Structure 1
Amino acid sequence: MEITNLSKDKNNLLERIFKLQKHNTDIKTEVMAGITTFMTMAYILVVNPMILSQAGMDQGSVFVATALSAAIATFFMGILANYPIALAPGMGLNVFFANTIVLQMGYSWQFALMAVFIEGLIFILLTVTRLREKIIECIPMNLKFAVTAGVGLFIAFVGLQNASIVVDGALGNMHDPLVILTLFGLLVTGALVAKDKKGALLISIIVISVIGMGLGLVALPQGIMSFNVPSLKPVFLQAFSVDINEIFSLDMVIAVFTLLFVDLFDTVGCLVGVAEKGNLLDENGNIPRAKEAMLADAIGTTTGALLGTSTVTSFIESASGIGEGGKTGLTAITTGVLFLLSLFFAPLFIAIPTQATSAVLIIVGVMMAGSLNKIDFDDFTNAIPAFVTFLFMPLMGSIGDGIIFGILSYTILKLATNKRDEVNISMIILSILFIIKFILLG
């Protein structure tokens, strides 16, 4: 009797927090979705430390900072915004951190951490003043549909590249056993999704991982559990070791501005893309609780800098959890818990092969590409900007660049064809800022 009452109390608590019935979901679905999201983005636990170690940072410490910052930011997303979106140190931003700020500009990694910390503080300010939310709201629906499709194409392209099906823009080696494993995984995932199998994406990841390990194509986990968690001390709070003169230098301004620009529109693209895919947009095409979602992102960035890692941002891989049925913050909380557990089960999570997650990413790309049907291709002032948006994302390898060129082309075409009433002042201001950015930073 007591066990039954405890189960009911737990269910009631989760219902009150995440409003599961309102979103037509349940605990099992949300947990499965959270696990799926984690499985598709667990690679960041390996890749981020490897990239930042090139800047001279301790790899083990960065691993801990990556897991902790991802967990904290994702918890905030789940609780504050009640969205099934996970966050972690972002790809691209970590490369800019290590290669550009440290290796090219010649500054220390502590300087780069301070730039990320300042970026996070500015994002908190922009979020509180609702400026970031206004940017999302000013984007026309046609471009929002294009962003969703573009994010889908981007995800699929990442999957194709990770699996070496596409190499340097050309077809990879189709005789490679790992490529064949991915293609087989693609068929398995596609069949499970087509049959509307519950937990299809997660089942696929597990099946392909087991097959790959069984055939000796991918490495087995070396010890499932390890309590030997690396120390965070070598990178913790190191941002504050930077000289005051460097903090107020022109190079710091350039570094912060670039991080702000890239992260802002990558986050906007991710939020719009996964929200539209998950039917989270309201009747006006806006994201409810966008302020809370942006605040979680800003807190994640600031906290990540303190812990000792590059910019934390929303992950497009969250779409895999949404594809699995995730609709609330319980999905995000599940993912966050797994990031914490990864500190003790690192060998197991690291052993998940890219061939398994790549197949899932490609299928998720197919799901999101359905938004193309909603774009108005009859009006070229809508069709061209939408096309530019979803095409540039995979070609340029940047969600942010796709949005930037989409907004620019939309604004210019509408003004050039005397459709001024279809362009709001925010779009014009953004377009001017984009042009200034290209002139100053290229």
Structure 2
Amino acid sequence: MELSTCSNKGLLERMFKLAEKGTNVKTEILAGITTFLTCVYIVAVNPAILANAGMDTKAVFWATALAAGLGSIFMGLYANFPFALAPAMGLNAYFAFYVVGVLNLSWQNALGCVLISGIAFIILSLFNIQERIVNEMPHCIKNSVGAGIGFFIAFIGLAQAGIVVSNKDTLLQMGNLGNPGTLLALLGIALTAVLIIKRIRGAILIGILAITVAGFFVKNPATGMSYTQLPAGGMLAFDNPVQALAPTFGQLSFAGMFDSSGIVLLGVLFAIFSFLFVDLFDGIGVLVGVSAKAGFLNEKGELPNAGKALFATACSAAGGAVLGTNTVCIYGAESTTGIAEGGRTGLVAVVAGILFILCLFFSPVFLMIPAIATAPALVMIGVFMMEPLKSVDLQDFAIAFPVFLAVMIMPFTYSIAHGILFSVLGYTLAQVAAGNRKNISATVWVLTVIFIIYLTLEIILK
């Protein structure tokens, strides 16, 4: 037994260079569990959101857990970074509500867009082009895109909870706070916020589970049934993987995507760009930001193996599309919890990935979670994603203007793409007006021209 343990430790030491990174197996496993607990909410939230696109919830659950599990394991083994991967919040809502809901593409076509963006990301990673693109983008735009997506996610959560509802005269208004479901969602928001403030591990997951349990005892006035219903087949599931994944696995399609004319074709192209843009910038942002805090940068301020990490992310994004889920990305904020527990190597990501795969045996538990229980998670994620704005100089109007456009337009138009578009155009306009043309990189000039052409065509074709 002792020989086996020593052998395993030796193998893990060689694979992850634990001693060199100043850590050990126990610390890495605990860090991996911590990271998993902070991001496992995605296996409950993602199926609920993509169901709005007409996708099978069980299949999406399987695709989400497998994409997160395999992606995290790949990140750990190939790049040796303690970063978990999973389908991106924000892009799942963009996928369901804009690409499918507004552009009227099928969810199969939307998955096709995700695959193309993933392949493009792989190509950019192979030639190291992504680093140049990201380096030439203004700091304020890189930070405002994440914050805008955060507001977009939070807005969806508030609507899902019934806290914000439509109004034909004022567009939006406060929902019925006397509705039992809305009250439960408000309780969930309050509970989750308190748990986060008190630094309780797995706060978001605890909040989701607490409201799910409360949902057994509260009836939905619209149906007369409890908000939470016990699964008919029990809490554990031993599904046939082929059958469980069949509704989404390999179902992506390019048929008809590029046959459309006018605004739909433009929308398809811009959807692909948006999936790529967000995954690209999110990946770089996390690698640079989190790695700086964790001390992963070398004496030159460079991050060794950054290219491997981005390649792992790109492959996971493409693989996720084949499985049947939206773009996979690095979970930066969640991964920092494991790093804070001492995690320093890819063993953290491998542990988190294995736990994601084990979730598949508990699919009935995750699939019975009602929308009012996942809504607080969306709101909390929105709060987390505001953080990048703290490093933006909002006293400079030439900076504040493009930031405001990204943050405002994404939630109010249900379009991450248009938020990016107007933010870039706003930045170029503001810098030219301020006499700071030298601050506009070649990449931004190219994007400005492309976006002007896009807007012109959108106006004409409509």
> What TM-score does the superposition give when structure 1 sets the normalisation length?
0.77
**AA of the residue aligned to 1:375:** V
Q: Please tell me whether the aligned partners of residues 48 and 94 of structure 1 are also in contact (alpha carbons under 8 angstroms).
A: yes
Q: Where does residue 16 of structure 1 map in the other structure?
A: 17
**AA of the residue aligned to 1:154:** F
Of 258, 274, 298, the residue aligned with 1:262 is 274
Distance (Å, rounded) in 1 between the aligned partners of 2:136 and 2:404? 19
- What is the CA distance between 1:347 and its match in structure 2? 0.7
Distance (Å, rounded) in 2 between the aligned partners of 1:288 and 1:398? 35
> Does the alignment pair 1:363 with 2:380?
yes
Q: Please tell me whether the aligned partners of residues 50 and 59 of structure 1 are also in contact (alpha carbons under 8 angstroms).
A: no
> What TM-score does the superposition give when structure 2 sets the normalisation length?
0.74
- What is the CA distance between 1:97 and its match in structure 2? 6.3
Aligned with 1:189: secondary structure? Answer: helix
| CA-based RMSD | 4.2
**AA of the residue aligned to 1:314:** C
Q: Where does residue 184 of structure 1 map in the other structure?
A: 187
Q: Where does residue 394 of structure 1 map in the other structure?
A: 411
List aligned pairs for 1:215-364, cutoff 5 A: 216-222=226-232, 223-229=234-240, 231=243, 232=245, 237=250, 257-268=269-280, 270-271=282-283, 278=290, 280=292, 291-307=307-323, 309=324, 311-314=326-329, 319-320=333-334, 322=336, 332-364=349-381
**AA of the residue aligned to 1:404:** L
**AA of the residue aligned to 1:312:** T
Of 391, 404, 426, the residue aligned with 1:409 is 426
Distance (Å, rounded) in 1 between the aligned partners of 2:433 and 2:67? 45
Q: Deviations over 1:28-72 (max 9, x none)?
A: 24322223312244332354366354xxxx776666445444443
Q: Deviations over 1:310-358 (max 9, x none)?
A: 6533277x64554675876556545543443344321111123333433
Distance (Å, rounded) in 2 between the aligned partners of 1:213 and 1:348? 13
Distance (Å, rounded) in 1 between the aligned partners of 2:203 and 2:213? 15
10-19 or 388-397, larger mean C-alpha shift = 10-19
Of 27, 32, 35, the residue aligned with 1:33 is 35
11-20 or 142-151, larger mean C-alpha shift = 11-20
Q: Please tell me whether the aligned partners of residues 393 and 399 of structure 2 are also in contact (alpha carbons under 8 angstroms).
A: yes
Q: Where does residue 86 of structure 1 map in the other structure?
A: 85
Q: Where does residue 223 of structure 2 map in the other structure?
A: none
- What is the CA distance between 1:208 and its match in structure 2? 3.1
Aligned with 2:319: secondary structure? Answer: helix
Distance (Å, rounded) in 2 between the aligned partners of 1:175 and 1:273? 41
1:322–1:397 distance in 2 versus 1, CA, 3 Å: farther
**AA of the residue aligned to 1:267:** D
Q: Please tell me whether the aligned partners of residues 45 and 374 of structure 2 are also in contact (alpha carbons under 8 angstroms).
A: no
**AA of the residue aligned to 2:200:** K
**AA of the residue aligned to 2:157:** G
Q: Please tell me whether the aligned partners of residues 162 and 358 of structure 1 are also in contact (alpha carbons under 8 angstroms).
A: yes
Q: Deviations over 1:377-436 (max 9, x none)?
A: 222111211222222232233444323322221122112321122222121112112222
List aligned pairs for 1:418-429, cutoff 5 A: 418-429=435-446
Distance (Å, rounded) in 2 between the aligned partners of 1:18 and 1:149? 37
Q: Where does residue 202 of structure 1 map in the other structure?
A: 205
- What is the CA distance between 1:8 and its match in structure 2? 5.3
Structure 2 gaps of 5+ residues are 167-171, 219-225
Distance (Å, rounded) in 2 between the aligned partners of 1:141 and 1:286? 18
Aligned with 2:41: secondary structure? Answer: helix
Q: How many residues align?
A: 428
412-421 or 119-128, larger mean C-alpha shift = 119-128
Aligned with 1:348: secondary structure? Answer: helix
Q: Please tell me whether the aligned partners of residues 80 and 296 of structure 1 are also in contact (alpha carbons under 8 angstroms).
A: yes
Q: Deviations over 1:61-89 (max 9, x none)?
A: 66644544444334334444525343338
1:313–1:99 distance in 2 versus 1, CA, 3 Å: same
148-157 or 60-69, larger mean C-alpha shift = 60-69
1:373–1:289 distance in 2 versus 1, CA, 3 Å: same
Distance (Å, rounded) in 2 between the aligned partners of 1:432 and 1:97? 23
Of 159, 171, 176, the residue aligned with 2:174 is 171
**AA of the residue aligned to 2:45:** Y
Q: Please tell me whether the aligned partners of residues 73 and 297 of structure 1 are also in contact (alpha carbons under 8 angstroms).
A: yes
1:368–1:233 distance in 2 versus 1, CA, 3 Å: closer
Q: Please tell me whether the aligned partners of residues 265 and 399 of structure 1 are also in contact (alpha carbons under 8 angstroms).
A: no
Distance (Å, rounded) in 2 between the aligned partners of 1:284 and 1:152? 32
Distance (Å, rounded) in 1 between the aligned partners of 2:59 and 2:416? 29
Q: Please tell me whether the aligned partners of residues 69 and 312 of structure 1 are also in contact (alpha carbons under 8 angstroms).
A: no
Structure 1 gaps of 5+ residues are none
1:185–1:311 distance in 2 versus 1, CA, 3 Å: closer
Aligned with 2:87: secondary structure? Answer: strand
Q: Deviations over 1:285-318 (max 9, x none)?
A: 99876644443343234334544x36533277x6
- What is the CA distance between 1:155 and its match in structure 2? 3.3
Q: Please tell me whether the aligned partners of residues 151 and 269 of structure 1 are also in contact (alpha carbons under 8 angstroms).
A: no
Distance (Å, rounded) in 2 between the aligned partners of 1:311 and 1:435? 28
